[in-house]
Amino acid sequence: MGSKEKGRQGAGTSVQLAAAFEEFPEALVLKNIKGQLIFLNREAEEIFKVARNDVLGKSAAALRSRSQATLRSALMIEIPENGETRFVLPFDSRTRAFAVSEISLRGNGADISALRVFRETTREEELSRLKSQFMSITAHQLRTPISGLKWVIEMLLSGEVGKLTESQRELLVRAADTSERMIRLIGDLLDVTRIEEGRFGYHFRIEADIAALVARVVEDLRARAQAKGISLVFMKPRSALPSVKIDVERFGIAVENIVENAITYTMQGSVTVNVELRGDMIAITVRDTGIGIPKDAQEKISTKFFRAENVVRLGIGGTGLGLFIVEHVMKRHGGDMTVVSEEGKGTTITLTLPVDPARVPE
């Protein structure tokens, strides 16, 4: 094929690509390898209030006029690799939110340009805010009557208002368990709304004995494991561990969620918890012999309200909120949560904390 023919084909492809980009519902901005703008679609012109002929051929740094300031800011924000960045744009009497991502376009085996995509998320964020508000109000309204109900059940079980028959006691014990589950659900809902609204406050301090903290959580859950006939084992570290900077209450919630999940999803066998030093991190590992997590569900387990298909099929209760909270807590501590699981064989979840307090985000 001759060079002229190749040139005509290349030009045709470029025209087709530009036509497709023009009709795209999202704002698109295309830059060449030098960072110069080579294409904006109509949506980008409308959002950033610029005419393409005034900006094409310029780099972001060269957009100096007042009318081009918003576009310059949008082009200069950092975007994580394979990720998105939130960008808020003032628009008349309100603001519009966008999720910004960037795609590298390749030619002849090398990056030749970058396409920046601005996907509007204003309505999504508003719906999410309304949903969080509804969850918060509902949880607050439910918490007081359910706490009162729990108190009445406990008083009846204590025998203060009269002797109970065995069948009455059985029914009340089940009612007490149900009310306890409801209170935990309400607590999870409130925690999730606080996280989403940025009100899930943290109070960090240096904790000298992280192993003792984990051991207390394990002991608090031992009765639940025994009731299911499951062995719950805490492996003490072989040597003293360094101090770590944590929020004791929040970190305790994370460990409790992981151990409680392990007990819930283990029908027989054991749950083993150990704490150890791994390089510059403290690792808390919870290993169970439970039902495991299907491979296609493992990437979604920290998504709000997500429950794996095998859990639903077996009719095991749960909210699908616990691991969402755990992941947030660990990231706020400068740590992480990792999951290794095989369906039908069990799950191992590891929480890691940095030893260096400087690595905990302020």
Mean pLDDT across the stretch 275-301?
95
Q: What is the architecture, at CATH level 2, of domain 205-359?
A: 2-Layer Sandwich (3.30)
User: Quick check: pTM over 0.75?
Assistant: no
Q: Please tell me whether residue 245 adopts helix, strand or coil conformation.
A: strand
* Superfamily of segment(s) 3-120: PAS domain (3.30.450.20)
CA–CA separation, 151 vs 340, rounded Å? 40
pLDDT at 336: 96
Instruction: Give the least confident one: 4-13, 137-146, 283-292.
Output: 4-13
Q: How buried is 308 (Cβ within 10 angstroms: 0-12 exposed, 13-18 middle, 19+ buried)? A: buried
| Span 112-140, pLDDT tens digits | 689 999 999 999 888 888 877 787 787 77
Per DSSP, 179 falls in state H
CA–CA separation, 186 vs 220, rounded Å? 20
CA–chain centroid gap for 154, Å, is 36
Q: Please tell me whether residue 139 adopts helix, strand or coil conformation.
A: helix
| Span 78-89, pLDDT tens digits | 998 878 899 998
Q: Among positive and negative, which fits the CA dihedral 264, 265, 267, 272?
A: negative
Q: How buried is 10 (Cβ within 10 angstroms: 0-12 exposed, 13-18 middle, 19+ buried)? A: exposed
Is a pLDDT exceeding 50 seen at residue 328? yes
CA–CA separation, 51 vs 43, rounded Å? 11
286 touches 273 (CB < 8 A)? yes
CA–CA separation, 21 vs 118, rounded Å? 13
| Span 143-185, pLDDT tens digits | 888 888 889 998 899 888 888 999 998 999 888 888 887 888 8
346 touches 288 (CB < 8 A)? yes
| Span 224-247, pLDDT tens digits | 999 999 999 999 998 999 999 999
Query: Interior CA angle at 173 toward 172 and 178, to 5°?
Result: 95
Token pair 């369906």 is found at: 343
Question: For strand 231-235 and strand 270-278, is the pairing parallel, antiparallel, or unpaired?
Answer: parallel
Which residues share a beta bridge with 28? 117
Is a pLDDT exceeding 50 seen at residue 12? no
| Span 189-208, pLDDT tens digits | 888 888 887 788 899 999 98
